[in-house]
Amino acid sequence: MDIIITILIILVVSRLLSGLFSRIKQPPVIGELIAGIILGPSILKLISPDTNGLDALAELGVLFLVLFAGMQMHMTSMREYFRPAFFIAFMGNNLAIFSGVLLGKLYDLDTITSLFIGVVFSLTALPVGVRILMDLGKIDTPTGKIIITSAVIDDIFSIFLFVMVLFIAESDSRLPEVGFVSASIIKILIFLVLIYLFNEILTIKGGLPARYITLAVGKLTKESQFFYILLFGILIGNLGGLLGITVIIGIFYAGILIKGTTVGEEAYSNVSNVISSITFGIFSPIFFAYMGLLMDTTAIFDYANPYSGKNIYQLMFFTSSLVFAMVGKSGGAFMGGLLANMKLKDAAAVGIGLNARGLMGLVILEIGLKHRLIEQSVYAMLVAMCIITTFITPYLLKKILK
């Protein structure tokens, strides 16, 4: 029963704060993050000691959020905005990685740790970007589509680099073999080609596959339609995971394949409405509150000894990581936008929109800690960086998109 009480508390506080932020014309997602920070690990445990299972619910939130986002996108949009998105992702990733390595070297960290920090800096939280753009009503605009497409390319780059860093760390600092790198690239290309072929087959005008699927789905109950479409998303997501492109990106592409022309307009509308209600009514608030819950300031600052040398060092490192992460990622993406001939304001919006690290950053940090790529203190500070960049991104993006 404790987990039910925990969920109830999170949903009530999240809903109250997100409603408050909506009233003052600020993105509701900020309220949900604040709910998690206010409740915190310590306060929530006083009310309800059982917080186990929240991580699984948060992951479900990511699944539904990304699937829904994919359902709102079209492959033609991805193609149309691929060129500017590629420039943006390339510049954003490279400058962010450079910033991470530079930060590591300034604080005398080893090369592997510095590279790992660069990977964390280069990440973009696709689910967070989706939610922010939806809150602002900008997901269907050219800028919104460029942000989403850039975020997808971003994460493919970043995950690939993370696999390389992990390989180096576990093979006594040897560079990855050419065969290993080639195999990783080939697997990613196989997935993208499969998605492209699926889309081409399903979108053939008057084609048999789309007509057959529409007819079959139309005969199902609403509950069965939801089940099979969700199952399809999970299967494609796992295929993405197996081919090294992450489950999240895989599910996003599954959403792109699910359209009214392939499953029938009525079924698409039914499932889209159900996923929207589940996502924004339950799982998305839990996901963002869970991120806030992970913000443990005691791991960064020793309140018992506020003027200790360790505190000063950790605060300096934390502040530096925040500045380097934001300038590296946003600055690189902004320059990429200008190279792609975007307007100054739009390029700035894209730079800010790609700045949140979200759950993807936290997952990568957790893996890095388990594989001893970073120490516990560095881990805690980078977790805080991921949460704060996620926290400030909606506010800044709303300001610039006005």
Burial 99-130 (b: 16+ CB within 10 A, else e): bbbbbbeebebeebbbbbbbbbbbbbbbbbbb
Tokens of 18: 């997100």
DSSP 8-state assignment for residue 387: H
Which range of 91-95, 156-160, 294-298 scores highest in mean pLDDT? It is 91-95
Provide the percentage of residues in the chain whose pLDDT is more than 90: 19
**Higher local confidence (pLDDT), 245 or 373:** 373
**Higher local confidence (pLDDT), 333 or 379:** 333
Tokens of 316: 């300096």
Q: For the chain, what is the radius of gyration of the CA atoms?
A: 21
For 200-225, what is each residue's pLDDT tens digit? 777 765 566 777 787 788 888 888 98
Contact predicate 294/383, CB 8 Å: yes
| Distance of alpha carbon 201 from alpha carbon 195, whole angstroms | 10
Measure the CA dihedral 32/34/37/40, to 10°: -60
Closest listed residue to residue 351, CA positions, set 329, 368, 376, 366: 329
pLDDT-wise least confident of 37-46, 99-108, 110-119, 297-306: 297-306
| pLDDT given for residue 344 in this prediction | 93
DSSP 8-state assignment for residue 399: H
| Distance of alpha carbon 139 from alpha carbon 129, whole angstroms | 9
Q: What is the pTM of this model?
A: 0.77
| pLDDT given for residue 154 in this prediction | 86
User: What phi, psi does 342 have (nearest 5°)?
Assistant: -80, 155
| pLDDT given for residue 265 in this prediction | 81
Residue 132 has pLDDT above 90, yes or no: no
| pLDDT given for residue 66 in this prediction | 83
pLDDT-wise least confident of 15-29, 107-121, 164-178, 199-213: 164-178
Provide CATH code, domain 2-400: 1.20.1530.20
Domain locations along the chain:
2-400
Tokens of 199: 């889309």
Count of C-beta atoms within a 10 Å radius of residue 26: 16
The separation between the first and the last C-alpha atoms of the chain, rounded to the nearest angstrom, is: 44
Residue with tokens 């940090």: 365
For 139-153, what is each residue's pLDDT tens digit? 888 899 899 889 888
Residue 1 has pLDDT above 60, yes or no: no
For 13-58, what is each residue's pLDDT tens digit? 888 998 898 888 777 877 888 888 788 766 766 666 556 677 788 8
- Round the average pLDDT of the chain to a whole number and report it: 82
| pLDDT given for residue 60 in this prediction | 86
| Distance of alpha carbon 189 from alpha carbon 245, whole angstroms | 9
| pLDDT given for residue 104 in this prediction | 93
Closest listed residue to residue 249, CA positions, set 155, 109, 111: 155
Q: Report in angstroms the alpha-carbon separations of 233 from 55, 67, 150, 279, 286.
A: 20, 7, 21, 15, 21
